Structure formats: C-alpha cells, structure tokens
Amino acid sequence: MARSFKCIIVTAVVLVSLLGPEALAGPIFHDTFESDLSAWTGKSGGAHNGAIVPDPLGGAGNALTFTAVNSGGDIFTTGQAFSLSSGRLYRVSFDFLGLPGQVPGGSGGFAGLSQGYPGTHMWYYGTNTTSGAAPILIDDGQWHRYAYNFIAPAPVVGNTVRLMFEDFGYFGYGIPGDAFFDNVVFQVVPAPGAVVLAGLGSAIVGWLRRRKAV
Ligand SMILES: [Ca+2]
Ligand SMILES: [Ca+2]
C-alpha cells in the first residue's frame, strides 16, 4: 500500500521535473497566503475556518491552516468559477505540511475540486481515502509539493470548477491546525506538456498491455 502511494508521488514529481516550470503557462490562479483570504469563501459562500499563520517550520512567509475541522469542503475559491476548455490539460499544485503523531485519519489535509460551495465535488488528494481521495499527503512534519493533473472536463465536477481545501474530521477524530497548505497554483499545461504526458500515458498503457500479454 505504502509503495503504491510512493509511486504516485514519484510520478507527480517526475512529471513536474520533466516539464519544468518554464513549460507551464502563467497561472489561472495562485495564492501564497501571505496577506489575506479574500480569494476564498466558505460553505454556501459563508464563513470558513481558514487562517493565515506563519510557517510553522520557521521559514519565511505565511501559510494556510484551519481553526476547526470540517467535511464537504471548508475553503473554496470565490468569485467566478474557473471555466475549463474541453480537452485541455490542467494542473493543480500546492505545498502541504502535516504534523506527525496525531490521530486516525492523519492530519486531515484534503484538496479537491468543486462546482459550488461545495455542490458537486471531488477530493483528489488527502491524508486518508475518504470520499475516494488518493491518500498521499504525508504527515511527516515537512513541506512537500504535490501536483494533480487532469484533462477537462474535470472528473466528476465538469468544466466549471473551484479549488477546495479542508482539515477533515475523520470519524470524530480530528485536530484543527495540524494541516498546512501554501503556494496553491492552478494552471493550464500547454500543448508540449500535454504531448509529453500523453506520451507517458501511452507508454504506461503499452507497458500494462505487455504485462497482460505475458
Ligand atoms: Ca506562503
Ligand atoms: Ca487536522
């Protein structure tokens, strides 16, 4: 189990390394959580539990955390939802830090996409598998960068999306303020990157077919 999670992380890291920052278009959205949370709103457009705090590791700058656990999303990009172009490749990337030695379900950091606040939504990365999230966010007390790529329409959510984050309360467990996010970027991956990814996808499919054929 742990090995497959590592593979997913390694794949994401390899993709980022292959493409490099220069291969990516300017972000559709980004937030370094240095000043305020004016780009974000809560459930049904109301209050949220997001808070800007100094980097808990003592690094320069601030990060996002939560003052309470939640479910079904806590903080959502506000304003117009992002309108995606069918067939284009998109990437959501962010830094995540989970404090170790906590409760069942981990720190509860979850990242996803939603149509509304939340409306139809999906979780793609979390610290456990609730609601189908890939449980790859690591609670080791260190910052790690994660990336989620998808071709529009976004899985489940469609072509009109918001970014969504929370500190999830797992079956009654949950400690607020032990999950941190920073440097959230939402961007289009331009055609050359899409070609590289498509090539990789084809290679993986081909490998799987060969494996089956053997
Ligand atoms: Ca920051
Ligand atoms: Ca937590």
Say whether pLDDT at 13 is over 70.
Answer: no
Are the beta carbons of 92 and 147 closer than 8 angstroms?
A: yes
**Spacing, Cα 57 to ligand 2 middle (Å):** 17
The span from the CA of 135 to the CA of 174, in Å, is 16
Say whether pLDDT at 24 is over 90.
Answer: no
CB atoms within 10 A of CB 87: 9
The span from the CA of 196 to the CA of 15, in Å, is 9
The total number of structural domains in the chain stands at 1
* 3-state secondary structure string across the chain: CHHHHHHHHHHHHHHHHHHCHHHCCCCCEEECCCCCCCCEECHHHCCCCEEEEECCCCCCCEEEEECCCECCCCEEECCCCEECCCCCEEEEEEEEEECCCCCCCCCCEEEEEECCCCCCEEEEEECCCHHHCECCCCCCCCCEEEEEEEECCECCCECEEEEEEEEECCCCCCCCCCEEEEEEEEEEECHHHHHHHHHHHHHHHHHHHHHHHC
Residues forming beta bridges with residue 82, ordered by sequence position: 161
Domain of residue 100 covers 2-213
Higher pLDDT: 155 or 8? It is 155
Q: Which two tokens stand for residue 151?
A: 């071709």
Torsion of CA 75, 80, 84, 85, to 10 degrees: 180
**Spacing, Cα 34 to ligand 2 middle (Å):** 21
Taking residues 34-49, what's their average pLDDT?
97
Least confident of 17-21, 30-34, 66-70, 92-96: 17-21
**Spacing, Cα 29 to ligand 1 middle (Å):** 14
Ligand nearest to C-alpha 182: 1
Ligand nearest to C-alpha 181: 1
Q: What pLDDT digit, counting tens, does each position of 127-156 carry?
A: 999 999 999 999 999 999 999 999 999 999
Q: What is the CATH number of the domain that holds 185?
A: 2.60.120.260
Higher pLDDT: 22 or 132? It is 132
Say whether pLDDT at 195 is over 90.
Answer: no
Are the beta carbons of 171 and 95 closer than 8 angstroms?
A: no
Q: Could you tell me the pLDDT band of residue 6, with boundaries at 50, 70 and 90?
A: very low
**Spacing, Cα 31 to ligand 1 middle (Å):** 8
Residues forming beta bridges with residue 95, ordered by sequence position: 145, 182
The span from the CA of 151 to the CA of 189, in Å, is 10
**Spacing, Cα 141 to ligand 2 middle (Å):** 13
Residues forming beta bridges with residue 113, ordered by sequence position: 122, 163
